[in-house]
Amino acid sequence: SFFMRVAMGLSLGEVNREERAIEFYEVLSSFDFMSSTPTLFNSGTLRPQLSSCYLTTVPDDLDGIYESIKENALLSKFAGGLGNDWSRVRALGSHIKGTNGESQGVVPFLKVVNDTAVAVNQGGKRKGAVCTYLETWHLDIEEFLELRKNTGDERRRTHDMNTANWVPDLFMQRVHANAEWTLFSPNETPDLHDLTGKAFEAAYVRYEEKATCGEMKVFKRMPALTLWRKILSMVFETGHPWVTFKDACNLRSPQQHVGVVHSSNLCTEITLNTSKDEIAVCNLGSVNLPQHIDERGLDLEKLACTVRTAMRMLDNVIDINYYSVPQARRSNLQHRPVGLGIMGFQDALHKLRLPYASEPAVTFADNSMEAVSYYAILASTELAAERGTYPSFQGSLWSQGILPLDSIRLLAEQRGGHLTMDDQPSAALKFDWSGLRQQVQTTGMRNSNCMAIAPTATISNICGVGQSIEPTYQNLFVKSNLSGEFTVVNPYLVRDLKERDLWDEVMANDLKYFDGSVRPIARIPADLKTLYATAFEIEPKWLIEAGSRRQKWIDQAQSLNLYLAEPSGKKLDETYRLAWTSGLKTTYYLRTMGATHVEKSTVNEGVLNAVGKEALVGACAIDNQDCEACQ
């Protein structure tokens, strides 16, 4: 009845409602595809708030600032994750014309944003969740970096809110060149907020010249490397701010003809335009990848059917959805973006018997996302033929026949180097990309954006697979909820150990003792140690390379966590520079050892919590509350 309610709720606007409801029910109940948590919560109810993410831009005036905080509260009340762009708000020490005083900058307002998220906790269902974005040239960036610190003035700390740094390419180029960087207040540099690529660089250099000539009231010069090191040290110390790349998000955006992407969302996978008139909204759902793997590999025929149905469900969300603020309705109906993602990537690798840290796994990341991309774009053109194109289609990259794969050259042209992104389709898959380009141009698209890979914290648990594109966190761990404590074990590992007659109570205890790692257990063969390496045993370059191969096919972005077992300044520097040069649009959490630790206790008779001689079938997942606001 749960899935039937969702299916019926999503087919309300269909002509043949009963047939569509059955189609939607079958794809949900089989776990081939799963809608995001808000859709599952609210479909078929009196107030169907089905969208996952909202993105807003905060203006530089008191009325606008508090209106934005009110919008946060209204959007959070009905269960949405929020991304706020604060880069337009003037910095500390800048002039206030109306009072002839000095501004207190961004930080005091962010304390109010933080406390609003705590007070308005998603309709009483779960913690309110906000991420605030600030560009790297903003004069308040240094204080912004410290918002999550556990020391210092509590009035200038936000312990319940996420932060992200919206980094222009010019800053990364200055870091590479060991050059100087200048911080400005946006009231003196108002156009920087909307500029990208070479246009941003030209304006920025012009402002630097004005500062040298004494024509700027407030600014600060520093070596770019000094600020970069501070960013990395704060990411290591507090997990924030997340590092996201402004130019990669904008220069590859299909919608750059009608606006600018000023931030991502709470989970760094949505890249949609925002303005004072538009609050971006995204509707999410994920294909369960291991459900589309058979003995021959990726089942393309089944995947095509799943994606076609999923895209129809996501498109229906836009019309059925309850919008608590008018700017969100306006934006969503004008552009109709959706975010189809994948989950269970690690499970799919286990089914294919591929280690995450390997070239074949990177190739599979590439090929599987190419297939999802092809079928999602195709499904959107089919919906356009049936229902009409989205209103702002003319002038978009789609209308010019520029697909996500083709937009890589736009980024390469503007960046002028520092881009090592693969830009070739798979020879093995033989998709007709030129035919699809033609179809997109002639028929149009129903959705301005089609794909985004969200963290899937809740829905992957529902489906019993690993989260999103995450590597296995631990092969065995203890999970606590209201029902008690449960030991969750990697079923693929248990299957292989049983086949080799290695699974017994001693092995279960060894796994628990070694925090779910197979590496220190002597009797486990080397091939299994490679196959079942956990997140902290995989070099981050493999995560980034797989992410880069996926990103070439995605018109939005992906929630990509990075894992470092032994972080150092050098390692952090290499990892985040690689993320930029690999063409990633965003990164998400940095996870380091010691953040989570498996419980090392047993109970009476040596029985390991819920694990006896038979393994529990379960899937590894990090219980990440922040992510759950999205999925």
Active-site positions read 265, 267, 269
Q: Which tokens sit at 158?
A: 């936000």
Q: What is the DSSP string of 504-553?
A: SHHHHHHHHHTTT-STT-TTS-HHHHHHT--GGGS-HHHHHHHHHHHHTT
**Residue in the structure block whose two tokens are 């501004």:** 103
List Cβ neighbours of 323 (8 Å cut-off, separation of 6 or more).
281, 329, 332
List Cβ neighbours of 45 (8 Å cut-off, separation of 6 or more).
9
CB count within 10 Å of CB 505 equals 13
DSSP letter (8 states) at residue 40: H
Q: Which tokens sit at 392?
A: 């702002």
CB count within 10 Å of CB 90 equals 24
Closest CA to 184 of 89, 266, 257: 89
**Residue in the structure block whose two tokens are 């291991």:** 290
Closest CA to 488 of 469, 468, 500, 467: 467
Closest CA to 85 of 320, 213, 299, 249: 249
Q: What is the DSSP string of 270-285?
A: ------SS--EEEEEE
Supply the Cα-derived Rg of the chain in whole angstroms. Answer: 24
**Residue in the structure block whose two tokens are 């985004």:** 452
Closest CA to 540 of 517, 512, 571, 580: 571
Is 467:457 a contact under the CB 8 Å cutoff? Answer: yes
CA 456, 485, 3, 617 dihedral sign is positive
Q: How far is it, in rounded angstroms, from Cα 474 to Cα 477?
A: 6
Is 347:471 a contact under the CB 8 Å cutoff? Answer: no
**Burial of residue 482 (number of CB atoms within 10 Å: 0-12, 13-18, 19+):** exposed
Instruction: Say which amino acid occupies 8.
Output: M
Helices (H), 220-290: 224-238, 246-251
Is 587:273 a contact under the CB 8 Å cutoff? Answer: no
Q: How far is it, in rounded angstroms, from Cα 224 to Cα 181?
A: 5
Beta bridge partners of 220: 183
Give the SS3 label for residue 454.
coil
Q: How far is it, in rounded angstroms, from Cα 485 to Cα 482?
A: 8
Question: b/e map of 531-548 (b: 16 or more CB within 10 Å)?
Answer: bbbbbbbbebebbbbbbb
